[in-house]
A = this chain, B = another copy of it.
Amino acid sequence: MRKKTIEDYVELIFILQNKDEKVHTNNVANALDINPASVTEIFQKLSEEGYIDYKKYTGVTLTHKGKKIAISTKKKHDTLKNFLMILGINKKTADIDACKIEHIVNSETMERLTKFVEFVQQFKDGTIWLDHFKHFYDTGEYVKRNHGNSKKDLVSSKQK
């Protein structure tokens, strides 16, 4: 797997923290498929940098700083995932890609994507174009609606 970022670790600790009580090296090691010994090192580093409270053998909790990062990362993740799913990408793939993109994408881009998801979700009746896109994706044809007439008009992508 790809090299993990601080955001990855913190986000994961956040998720685990909201399930179980305490987060231990073993949980994290399993989730990230790395060695528990490596998680100890990661805990030390995250602790030094103020993202978690860590004392030997006791399991860790996020600090305020850590929680802030975790929440913003998770929000980015959800937005990206929703965004990809709006375009028709399946849930699992959307999740995988969101997980990678969330760490690298520019905040300006993120803002646009967030607004886009809002736009689609808030104005459901203004999104016939999405059905058109999906139809185009499947068939290569563009569905043109004649307004005031429920019949559909198929226009091949070739003839435009």
Chain A residues in contact with chain B, CB under 8 A? 2-3, 84, 87-90, 93-94, 96-97, 100-101, 104-106, 108-109, 112-113, 115-116, 118-119, 122-123, 126-127, 129, 132-133, 136-137, 142, 144, 147-148, 157, 160
Contacts and interface: CB of A to CB of B under 8 A. Distances in A.
Q: Determine how many copies of this chain the complex contains.
A: 2
Contacts of A2: 104
Given A89-B112, A119-B133, A123-B160, A104 B104 contact: yes
Main secondary structure of the interface of A (DSSP, over half): helix
A131 B35 CA distance: 51
B116 A87 contact: yes
A40 to B, nearest CB: 24
